[in-house]
Amino acid sequence: MKRHIFSEAANYGLHTKCTNLAICVIAIALVAVPNIVPANAGTENIQPITNEMLLSAQDDPESWLMYGRDYKSWRYSQLTQVNTENVNKLVTKWAFQIGTPYDKFECTPLVVDGVMIITTPYSTIYAVDARTGKEIWRYDYELPDDLAICCGMVNRGAAILGEKVFWTTLDAHLLALDVKTGRVLWDRVVGDLTNAESLTVAPLVVKDKVIVGISGAEYGIRGYIDAYYAETGEQAWRFYTVPSKDEPGGDTWEGDSWMTGGGSAWVTGSYDPELNLVYWGTGNPAPDWNGAVRRGDNLYTDCIVALDADTGKLKWYFQATPHDLWDWDGVSEPVLIDMEIDGAPVKALMQANRNGYFYVLDRTNGKFLYASTYCEQNWSAGLDENGRPTVKPGVSTSEEGTIRVCPGVEGGKNWPPSAYNPLTNYLYVPSLELCGSYHQGRVFYLKGLPYLGSGMTAEKDEDGDMMMWGHISAIDISTGEIKWRHKTNFPQWGGCLTTAGGLVFAGDLEGRFMALSAENGEVLWDFQTGSGVLAPPITYQLDGVQYVAIASGAVKYAEVNARQGGTLFVFALFDE
């Protein structure tokens, strides 16, 4: 089996796009593994997951039923057995190795009735005993030859409804599997593999539908968000993140540039059941760094879009970076919160955007409420009353020569998710501090090949070392003020989990998995996983025991010793 992968440029980052196709497209020879479906011992007690259970997922301490834990994407648990007083007694209970060295293990596992569902970068899915790590069943999906993807082999998780597990593959299929056996119940083609469309997203189940977003903007696709009926796999609706010329927003694309306009939707969205709205972040326009061939605001790229869950119709949008020239995907998770602003209750949505701003919007209509910066940024002179930025002179990739822009192409925050704790009222954001130097390049479109239009390198000091670091920042959502920061030696890619035990859990690129005080950021415990951590942690409780789980595994890049090898670790308190 042979897969052509649009890989990361080793000189500056994990999600950076290459500009030299000769070194950017690589072939990896892999041995096809047959599908394996062992006996279903260990899954016989799994009960069907209902919509009511998903709606109350936040209140279920024994389970982790969806990507963001609940529809609000808080990644918060009420569990308190592990807390600030005893977290230093955490020990490893079991570990599960996925056996693939060249991966970014970005999975958020599901836990249901004592069974954990794990997805891997190379399109394999496992069910294991959540108490012991014993494999129950596994399904190996055989990927086709000549697979074109950006950026690396990735899968971020699964979804569940009834007795079906829903899961995406790198060749843009959506599968439904029997949760008890791993048997495939239906398999639907979502995207066009020949057009470099792929799926890395964890699906979102809303009522009777399974919602996914496509990847592939770096190849000049026209992005979309799809919904499929959970029972049959039949398509329910499609929303194009790049409108055609005769649709609303189509006039924000010059000529026919909308046809190759990008707008991937590769991170799982959120859902408000009262408003019946799905909120989803959309990615960069294409070509990434050359706006001369796509003049205009380029809707609905770099947006949060609010879609009717039943029909997929657009209700409102907010564009953080009009006419993006720096590859600042707006795909970060929308976090839903009810709060007070100026003494009045507001149904709000907040997002730490890749462009360096933390935004708070009214989620009923998309109205801009306020924003603040959470990392170094030099590109914007401020936001107007509608949240539209004023771009400073000298930071446009259309200008001659090399320009310095902060944040760099990785953004101030990339895909790894934040976490919100209602007890502190803080949003914990994994952040990157990495500026970049851009230069203009020529661009032309060929189907199935990278469509970028410029180049970028990370900023270096006088000795030629990369100038980069990161932090986990606690943002007071009422004011946007940063209350504390935990600095990391390299850009902070590990996603966050927070608990009622007063803790924030996260890993870093040096392989440390940490527990921090949610109140002040003090590191209370850490564990060396042996490989860089990108994934967000989860927690669950079985038989009165609270467990904390984290997937560890990152590619080696730049000056970061992110050793390779994917392992899922599960911890609990030492039983004396």
pLDDT of residue 37: 46
Enclosing domain of residue 189: 2-141+148-326+337-573
Indicate the pLDDT class of residue 379, thresholds 50, 70 and 90: very high
Res. 89: pLDDT tops 80: yes
Radius of gyration of the chain (CA): 22
Give residue-wise pLDDT tens across range 30-53: 333 445 445 456 888 899 999 999
List, for residues 227-245, the tens digit of each pLDDT value: 999 999 999 999 999 999 9
Phi, psi (degrees; rounded to nearest 5) at 279 = -110, 130
Tokens standing for 268?
Answer: 């799982």
Angle ∠(282,287,292) on CA atoms, nearest 5: 115
Residue at 332 is within a domain: no
**Quick check: is 157 in a domain?**
yes
d(CA 81, CA 462): 49
Q: Is the dihedral of CA 490, 494, 497, 503 positive or negative?
A: negative
Residue 254 CB neighbours (<10 A): 14
- CA–CA distance, 533 with 509 (Å, rounded to integer): 5
- Are residues 255 and 291 in contact, defined by beta-carbon separation less than 8 angstroms? no
Structural tokens at position 165: 């597990």
219: helix, strand or coil: helix
Residues 6+ apart with CB under 8 A from 503: 82, 83, 84, 87, 515, 516, 517, 518, 524
CA distance 199 to 212: 8
- Summarize the confidence of residues 182-207 as an average pLDDT: 96
Residue 188 falls within a domain, yes or no? yes
CB neighbour burial string for 413-439, b if at least 16 within 10 angstroms, e if fewer: bbbbbbbbbeebbbbbbbbbbbbbbbb
The pLDDT tens digits for 387-422 are 999 999 988 876 677 788 999 989 999 999 999 999
8-state DSSP, 321: S
Band (pLDDT 50/70/90 cuts) for residue 560 is: low
Q: Note whether residue 331 is domain-resident.
A: no
46: Cβ contacts below 8 Å, ≥ 6 apart: 112, 113, 115, 163, 179, 180
In which band, very low, low, confident or very high, does the pLDDT at 564 lie, cut at 50, 70 and 90? confident
Q: What is the pLDDT of residue 576?
A: 65
Q: Looking at residue 133, which CATH number applies to its domain?
A: 2.140.10.10
What is the rounded average pLDDT of the residues 46-62?
96
Could you tell me the pLDDT band of residue 555, with boundaries at 50, 70 and 90?
Answer: confident
Residue 35, pLDDT score = 55
Q: DSSP for 41-101?
A: TT-TTPPPBPHHHHHTGGG-TT-B-STTSSTT---EE---SS-TTTGGGEEEEEEEE---S
Which stretch of DSSP H or E encloses residue 16? none
| pLDDT confidence tier of residue 5, bands split at 50, 70 and 90 | very low
Is residue 338 part of the annotated active site? The answer reads no
Contact in structure between 57 and 76 (CB atoms under 8 Å) = no
Q: Alpha-carbon distance 414 to 432, whole Å?
A: 8
175 and 186 in contact (C-beta within 8 Å)? yes
- Determine the average pLDDT of the residues in 7-30: 36
- pLDDT value, residue 4: 37
Specify the higher pLDDT residue, 558 or 178.
178
- Helix, coil or strand: residue 514: strand
pTM of the predicted model as reported, rounded to 2 decimal places? 0.93
Q: Look at residues 88, 68, 66, 86 and name the one whose alpha carbon lies nearest to residue 76.
A: 68
Q: How far, in Å, CA of 321 to CA of 301, rounded?
A: 8
Annotated active-site residue in 297, 327, 329, 508: 327
- At 25 the pLDDT is 35
The pLDDT tens digits for 540-550 are 999 999 999 99
When the pLDDT of each residue in the chain is averaged and rounded to a whole number, the result is: 90
Structural domain total, the chain: 1
Q: Where is pLDDT greater, at 184 or 33?
A: 184
d(CA 519, CA 373): 21
Q: What is the pLDDT of residue 562?
A: 65
User: CA 262: distance to chain centroid?
Assistant: 17
Lowest mean pLDDT among 63-77, 198-212, 432-446: 432-446
- What are φ and ψ of residue 50, in 5° steps? -100, 165
% of the chain exceeding 70 in pLDDT: 90
Q: Which of 169, 167, 164 is nearest to 149 (CA)?
A: 169
Contact criterion met (CB below 8 Å) for 537 and 550: yes
